[in-house]
Amino acid sequence: MQQQMPAGYTSKDIRVLEGLEAVRVRPGMYIGSTDQRGLQHLIYEVLDNAVDEAMAGYCDRVDISLDKDGLITVADNGRGIPVDVHPTTGRSGLETVMTTLHAGGKFGGGAYKVSGGLHGVGGSVVNALSVYLKAQVQRDGYVYHQEYKQGAPTSDVVQSKKTKEHGTTISFKPDPAMFPIIEYDFETLVSHFKEIGYLNKGLEINFTSQWHETQRNGDIERTYFFDSGIANLVRNVNRNRKVVQKEPFYYEKTLDDIAVEVAIQYNDGFAETVFSFANCINTPEGGTHLTGFRSALTRVINDYTRRKGFIKEDQPNLTGEDVREGLAAVVSVKLTDPQFEGQTKTKLGNADVRGIVESVVAEGLTRYLEANPASGKLIVDKCLTSQRAREAAKKARDLVIRKNALDGSSLPGKLADCAERDPAKSELYIVEGESAGGSAKMGRDRSFQAILPLKGKILNVERVLQQPDKILAHEEIRCMIAALGAGEGEEFDASKIRYHKIIIMTDADVDGSHIRTLILTFFYRRMQPLIHGGFLYIAQPPLYRVQAGRDVNYAYNEEQKDVLMAKFERRRGIQVQRYKGLGEMNPDQLWETTMNPDTRQMLQVNIDNLIESDDVFTTLMSEVVAPRKSFIQAHARSVKNLDV
């Protein structure tokens, strides 16, 4: 039977959003969210415009500041936004760019051959979501400025004093009506600024903050300038590792209007640490540029190894795994029209990029190996050692798989699975301990929630990356692999995962934090696409149960507990229970506070900065002690919730 349209539904019910109104109605469509990440994205959007000027060769300095009143200023010494009248809009170029979606110099290919912000929405979206914005342009011998409120001009473009300088300065204050909580993660901000500095050699980035969050420890002042660009980044990645060749290999070349940069330096470790970028945008899912890089690396090292007689004719070639073990590398491409795809739109899809990157990397690396025979021999020795270790590990791994029937066809006995078979509707709780596992099994909604209890602390996989057989020999890790059903390591396939929410639920104490860290290390090193896909979460069980009479409330942090205590201060008989273990909760309490989708609080695990994340896992979880000791000494005074 055909469904009837609602009575009175006419054209007058169709709303047409004018100008930037759409941005304020649906801000998430343009900046992802209106939480802290979206707030910081405003800064990145304005910075991207300055970086585009740098990539075009017109800017070598960007100053970013956050004052005590929350005003953000981004100033560059580029060409300055045009202020002459636009032929289509009849308004100045400045007003057109700041008030019109999809207006910019990045579409026709004339002003920018290469751009990081390709949507043309950066300046206008920031303007729409700001309670105040001022744009100042220095060009053609004069200073021009215009002010706006929530995207609408409050003045005309004003020409003021004469100047010999050039550039654009954007000052804005995010609108509290759009961003209910205006707080910044300064570690994330400075990591992003530093990454931009690495990817644009010769560009100076200065950041200062007087915002109230930073005043406790003094104002923030950071300057990033890297004359060797991504070669500096590779050195930084390897700073706590023993390197194979003293200086990184670096090569750059532009071919068919695609600029390619690559830097390579091997270390004595076992992990592959390769970062790929397209137009300064991190591409953690890789893409055609990474494929081209890997193909060139394997082919060139094999050719060099055979040409120099390091392996005999009847011996097998080195595989991609062999030449990537202990590799620290960065490949960066800059092109006119990047096409992104993948789960999170961070995978480069341009087909022509693969061949160009492969050609450039092969040319540069061949020259390097021939000109540096001592370094070449060290690299080959490293790769041959990896080959021998891989072959031995494969035999041991196959033995473990056969012994434990780890083929994905059988589920672990301790898994309490759910009835739902659609992964998008299914959840897996990885729970610390049999006691908490029992409570979780009784408290869950078995229609869509599965429970996998783990016994004790799992293996620290960071220390046995070269020995996958040891990883698979660990019973609790085998249980996780079997429960997820998507393989692990090089064979991991996110499309086969059985649950789209994997939730780590551990006790709120030091042991629980340690177990959570070990599980995160395993997922990061052996199932990283799972994190990029947004499948991994951390449960947030309450720390306190506060009861006054029949009124029961839960507090998830100290601040919430203090608020509840103050609320009940004048009722007698307040009872406060501190939860240290999940097993201390009754099943119904665990459901109500931690597992009920309508009331629970969870943290989604994201990799905001792949470079910094990789460095943290290497520093804190590897066998090398000195960097970990330095880290502990540097952060000892800021430790919270220390159990002694």
pLDDT, position 337 = 87
Spatial neighbors of 361 by CB under 8 A, at least 6 apart, are 251, 260, 262, 292, 293, 296, 297, 300, 331
Do the Cβ atoms of 92 and 13 come closer than 8 Å? no
Please give the distance of CA 27 from its chain centroid, rounded to a whole number.
21
pLDDT, position 509 = 81
pLDDT, position 119 = 39
CA distance 152 to 527: 47
Using DSSP bridges, classify how beta strands 220-224 and 204-209 pair: parallel, antiparallel or unpaired.
antiparallel
Helix (H, G, I), strand (E, B) or coil at 63: strand
Q: Is there a catalytic annotation at residue 511?
A: yes
Do the Cβ atoms of 269 and 326 come closer than 8 Å? yes
Q: Could you tell me the maximum CA-CA distance found in the chain, to the nearest angstrom? A: 87
Share of the chain above pLDDT 90, in %: 55
CA distance 435 to 583: 5
pLDDT, position 216 = 57
Sheet harboring 574-578: ordered strands across?
551-555, 544-548, 574-578
pLDDT, position 148 = 95
Beta-bridge mates of residue 81: none
pLDDT tens digits for 253-288? 999 999 999 999 999 888 889 999 999 988 988 999
Dihedral, 83, 84, 86, 90 alpha carbons, nearest 10:
100
E-assigned strand segments in 150-304: 152-153, 158-162, 167-174, 204-209, 220-224, 249-255, 258-266, 273-278, 281-282
pLDDT, position 116 = 56
Which of 21, 511, 584, 608 is an active site residue? 511
pTM, 2 dp: 0.77
Residue ranges of the chain with per-residue pLDDT less than 50: 1, 107-109, 117-120
Do the Cβ atoms of 8 and 157 come closer than 8 Å? no
Using DSSP bridges, classify how beta strands 167-174 and 204-209 pair: parallel, antiparallel or unpaired.
unpaired
Do the Cβ atoms of 521 and 447 come closer than 8 Å? no
Q: Is there a catalytic annotation at residue 432?
A: yes
Helix (H, G, I), strand (E, B) or coil at 633: helix
Q: Is there a catalytic annotation at residue 509?
A: yes
Helix (H) or strand (E) holding 365: helix 351-371
CA distance 208 to 220: 5
Spatial neighbors of 239 by CB under 8 A, at least 6 apart, are none
CA distance 528 to 536: 10
Give the residue among 549, 582, 332 at the shortest CA–CA distance from 432.
Answer: 582
The DSSP output letter for 591 is: I
CA distance 320 to 333: 21
Which of 272, 509, 584, 612 is an active site residue? 509
Which of 488, 507, 592, 614 is an active site residue? 507
Q: Work out the number of other CB atoms within 10 angstroms of the CB of residue 25.
A: 11
Do the Cβ atoms of 321 and 490 come closer than 8 Å? yes
pLDDT, position 643 = 62
